[in-house]
Chain A
């Protein structure tokens, strides 16, 4: 019969009873042989031996011993921890910092990188685009998509979408601006997603002139239709066009590109972008679209690339000449959808994960050092245990149990720390990291933390274990007094750990330094205007009600006049494209009058962005004038068509000539409704349209009075707090047209801040980790040196007694510390040269081997190391030789 562990109490009783019976029988026999009871008892006992030992080894036969011992070890460990509360607190705090930082970053990585996309069998979804070298951008257009759809062999299903659409929803209370996406009817099928209510689009709704249908996101359904299930079949007004609601998406539906979509409408894509005009001319209306597809089982990304390239080649061959020039040599780029969605944040997160791993290693090294120092004091205890018969593994288990208990305590504290850090991340992280708000302590993170804690326990627990293995029982027991001292091995281990700490901190410090420098490089870039004290907001006119150019012109003219009159507004303007918020300008080919026609082969280079602004815009953003004049009241609707151009335009098209007064034609391109010939009246400074880090493209800016636009961004330079004017702006707009929403309201300062947010986050996070590591390393160096000095008290005493100068002693100890620090820095240098290359993608304006950063960090770390050595060294000089020599 086997006794389970929990019944071992009963088993033990039986065992005692069995032993007692044995003794009784032996006694009885001895008495029968004529001995007295007392003699018999003694004889039986003698013969039997140690009852306790017999019982214990018999119990061992049942294999419970290790469990009992584990309990003992834990109890012992806890007792030990409580006996030295200061030491325990420092250890647990150190570990908590390391483990907490790791848990927090892992929870982010877990949510962002390891998260499964919420689509069916998402591993087979790919995202495809074409890189067009001449345009220096990614672009797929309808002809290519039509080719993919009919000719591919690799896809089970394919869909196209475009997420740039915005719609004004009216008729449900205040007008609202919704972010929409045009999708082909196959879109939801490719993703393997079904609506919560209603149905997907029908094929006939996705034809070029099909009926207008719409799918609502769950959020819009709840917010604007009070979650009414009868919304199906209802006709709603988007941009004053009636759309029939055919379905409602699920709450967990996620659109692609990490961008929200409030409504989905059928793409109604034609098979070609080419229009053949009556006059024989060919016109292309290129609408860039994105492609998402589901791979057939067995298809590979590489196979898809070559197939799409073959289709591209055929499609582009069939295009008319100038389009062929513009779009030629399209190179297919295909990514797994997961990579596409998280690809741009992966390097940063992996660098952060690596960095916190380093922090944990530093923490481990530190704790291992503390443990070693303590283990030295416990050598005696270990030796006695060994002498009493504890096996080596038994001792190792004891020490490892103890360190694991400490590590787990550190893990629990670390979890609490992580919960707090995750809160901070939620508040401070840049918006460009998708799904970050979902970062939390879930089961996977808890398992990670548990694993890290246990691993940590083993890692820092190993050092004292190895030291214990080397303990020679005889020597330790023979050595008298409390000054048994540390063995050479332990001291060497401490030095190795210290060097490792310095090297790891150095690498982190370098990484942080490079990122901080990138951040400052980025913030040092002049955006080309004054972003402080500017309010921006968007207004888009529905084409149905503002069909004529006069209507469009007069609306914005009136609006800007009204805004200009508001108290607190210094100057008001409107622009088709505002800096730093994505280039919304039209791109057109440019033909300068009087210059040789652009060579067909180089035509790609002869393009410029065309903006349209109301005259007040320049003052509102304080764009500098370089030459000539700004656009103003002289450039009214009926005046000659004038533009100002930026300096990049001048550099591109007028190498030596004075651009003022020159004329150019905006040739082929979507500038279809604007007049064709423009006179340059001024040159303005370059402004960063796409982003601070982007290159400034040639731009020509026309007056919105001469080239009115439907959607414009308002820019108000205010003499008061910009956001205090928001309701006044809304009021002015609704007085002109109560159905127009004012949206995308932001101060320019916030735009600028969001622009550098991810750099700031990376730099801040890594700086935090590096600071933590340097702090830990500093404390570690201090601990090791202080301990070494205290161990060497007698040596100091002798030296001082023999006449060593204070300076000599100081120099000696500092020299010891410095040697270790230099070794650590050298190793760190070597490692950094290799490792910083991995983060080159995160850097801006800094080389991974930036000498300035390397020199500064080296100096800083040496100073920290010296400072950490200074105090113990200084203390060593205070040693009173009499006391030191009497110490033993």
Chain B
């Protein structure tokens, strides 16, 4: 159960937070529908990250609820109507802060994992 009053609770869970950041990052350049997004995540990560749809759609709807992305139904030339997500202004801001947080964490982790490099 997510309550709007409690703020962005997933911050502490790195994986969850990372997924949100990845979605925002992927939507940065162009609006995409869910399937395209999952494909893009997979391709861009060199097939390493395979996002479970059971995580993707909840994340999308959660981000939509936060107002970081917006959705719109669009008719596609190939068949079904598609729900297309795009980044909003506040989403862009969120991406920036997520990104700096992520960089801090990765640097910190890198520092722990490679102590020698720090000293040199």
| Contact indicator per residue, chain B 64-101, by CB within 8 Å of chain A (1) or not (0) | 01000011010000111111000000000000000000
Chain A residue contacts of B53, Cβ below 8 A? 19, 22, 47-49, 54
Partner of B57, one of A20, A24, A54, A65: A54
Question: Chain B interface: which of A56-64, A87-95, A290-298?
Answer: A56-64
Residues A63 and B83 in contact, CB atoms below 8 Å apart: no
Residues A57 and B58 in contact, CB atoms below 8 Å apart: yes
- A14-B83, A21-B83, A63-B2 known; A54 and B35 CB under 8 Å? no
- A22-B34, A25-B35, A49-B52 known; A63 and B1 CB under 8 Å? yes
B104 within 8 A of A: no
State how many angstroms separate the Cβ of B66 from the closest Cβ of chain A: 10
Complex Cα–Cα for A47 and B3 (A): 30
| Interface hits, A3-26 → B, CB 8 Å | 14-15, 17-22, 24-26
State how many angstroms separate the Cβ of B8 from the closest Cβ of chain A: 13
Residues A60 and B34 in contact, CB atoms below 8 Å apart: no
Chain B residue contacts of A17, Cβ below 8 A? 80-81, 83
Partner of B65, one of A18, A22, A24, A62: A62
A673 within 8 A of B: no
Partner of B3, one of A26, A48, A49, A63: A63
Complex Cα–Cα for A598 and B57 (A): 104
| Interface hits, B22-76 → A, CB 8 Å | 33-36, 38, 52-54, 57-62, 65, 70-71, 73
Complex Cα–Cα for A17 and B83 (A): 9
Complex Cα–Cα for A332 and B82 (A): 87
Complex Cα–Cα for A653 and B52 (A): 107
State how many angstroms separate the Cβ of A114 from the closest Cβ of chain B: 35
B116 within 8 A of A: no
| Interface hits, A776-834 → B, CB 8 Å | none
Partner of A60, one of B2, B35, B38: B2
List the count of A-B residue pairs having beta carbons below 8 Å apart: 74
Residues B81 and A60 in contact, CB atoms below 8 Å apart: no
Chain B residue contacts of A18, Cβ below 8 A? 34, 57, 83
Residues B58 and A21 in contact, CB atoms below 8 Å apart: no
Chain A residue contacts of B73, Cβ below 8 A? 14
How many A residues touch the partner, as a band? 20 to 34
Residue on A nearest B71 in the bound complex, by CB: A1
B4 within 8 A of A: yes
Complex Cα–Cα for A682 and B34 (A): 114
Residues B54 and A57 in contact, CB atoms below 8 Å apart: yes
Residues B80 and A21 in contact, CB atoms below 8 Å apart: yes
Tell me which of B3, B36, B82 has the highest count of chain A C-beta atoms within 10 A of its own C-beta. B82
Residues A50 and B80 in contact, CB atoms below 8 Å apart: no
Complex Cα–Cα for A264 and B3 (A): 65
Residues A2 and B57 in contact, CB atoms below 8 Å apart: no
Residue on B nearest A25 in the bound complex, by CB: B35
Complex Cα–Cα for A20 and B81 (A): 10
Residues A28 and B79 in contact, CB atoms below 8 Å apart: yes
Chain B residue contacts of A47, Cβ below 8 A? 53
Chain A residue contacts of B71, Cβ below 8 A? 1
Residues B34 and A65 in contact, CB atoms below 8 Å apart: no
Residues B54 and A60 in contact, CB atoms below 8 Å apart: no
Chain A residue contacts of B33, Cβ below 8 A? 21, 25
A654 within 8 A of B: no
Chain A residue contacts of B65, Cβ below 8 A? 2, 61-63
State how many angstroms separate the Cβ of A178 from the closest Cβ of chain B: 65
State how many angstroms separate the Cβ of B33 from the closest Cβ of chain A: 7
Residues B54 and A54 in contact, CB atoms below 8 Å apart: yes
Residues A61 and B82 in contact, CB atoms below 8 Å apart: no
Complex Cα–Cα for A28 and B78 (A): 10
Interface residue tally for chain B (C-beta within 8 Å): 28
A66 within 8 A of B: yes
Residues B35 and A49 in contact, CB atoms below 8 Å apart: no
Residues A61 and B79 in contact, CB atoms below 8 Å apart: no
Chain B residue contacts of A21, Cβ below 8 A? 33-35, 80-83
Partner of A24, one of B38, B60, B70, B79: B79
Partner of A50, one of B38, B54, B60, B61: B54
A53 within 8 A of B: yes
Complex Cα–Cα for A20 and B57 (A): 12
Residue on A nearest B73 in the bound complex, by CB: A14
Complex Cα–Cα for A53 and B58 (A): 10
- A26-B35, A63-B2 known; A58 and B57 CB under 8 Å? yes
State how many angstroms separate the Cβ of B89 from the closest Cβ of chain A: 16
Complex Cα–Cα for A25 and B36 (A): 9
Complex Cα–Cα for A174 and B109 (A): 104
Residues A22 and B1 in contact, CB atoms below 8 Å apart: no
Chain B residue contacts of A20, Cβ below 8 A? 80
State how many angstroms separate the Cβ of B11 from the closest Cβ of chain A: 16
Complex Cα–Cα for A45 and B100 (A): 37
Complex Cα–Cα for A61 and B52 (A): 16
State how many angstroms separate the Cβ of A207 from the closest Cβ of chain B: 70
Complex Cα–Cα for A267 and B46 (A): 103
Complex Cα–Cα for A54 and B55 (A): 7
State how many angstroms separate the Cβ of A28 from the closest Cβ of chain B: 7
Residues B1 and A24 in contact, CB atoms below 8 Å apart: no
Complex Cα–Cα for A243 and B106 (A): 99
Chain A residue contacts of B38, Cβ below 8 A? 22
Tell me which of B33, B60, B83 has the highest count of chain A C-beta atoms within 10 A of its own C-beta. B83
Complex Cα–Cα for A147 and B80 (A): 96
| Interface hits, B1-17 → A, CB 8 Å | 1-4
Chain A residue contacts of B80, Cβ below 8 A? 17, 20-21, 24-25
State how many angstroms separate the Cβ of B26 from the closest Cβ of chain A: 16
- A18-B83, A21-B81 known; A62 and B61 CB under 8 Å? yes
State how many angstroms separate the Cβ of B103 from the closest Cβ of chain A: 27
Tell me which of A28, A54, A65 has the highest count of chain B C-beta atoms within 10 A of its own C-beta. A54
Chain A residue contacts of B4, Cβ below 8 A? 63
Residues B81 and A61 in contact, CB atoms below 8 Å apart: no
| Contact indicator per residue, chain A 515-542, by CB within 8 Å of chain B (1) or not (0) | 0000000000000000000000000000
State how many angstroms separate the Cβ of A601 from the closest Cβ of chain B: 77
Complex Cα–Cα for A57 and B60 (A): 11
Residue on A nearest B70 in the bound complex, by CB: A1
State how many angstroms separate the Cβ of A422 from the closest Cβ of chain B: 43
Residue on B nearest A11 in the bound complex, by CB: B61
Chain A residue contacts of B70, Cβ below 8 A? 1
- A19-B57, A54-B54 known; A61 and B83 CB under 8 Å? no
* Interface residues, chain B, with chain A CB atoms under 8 Å away: 1-4, 33-36, 38, 52-54, 57-62, 65, 70-71, 73, 78-83
For this complex, 11 residue pairs linking A to B, each with C-beta atoms less than 8 Å apart, are A19-B53, A20-B80, A25-B35, A49-B52, A49-B53, A49-B54, A53-B54, A58-B61, A61-B2, A61-B58, A63-B3
Nearest 6 pairs between A and B by C-beta?
Answer: A61-B61, A21-B80, A61-B62, A25-B35, A54-B54, A58-B57
* Interface residues, chain A, with chain B CB atoms under 8 Å away: 1-2, 14-15, 17-22, 24-26, 28, 47-50, 53-55, 57-58, 60-63, 65-66
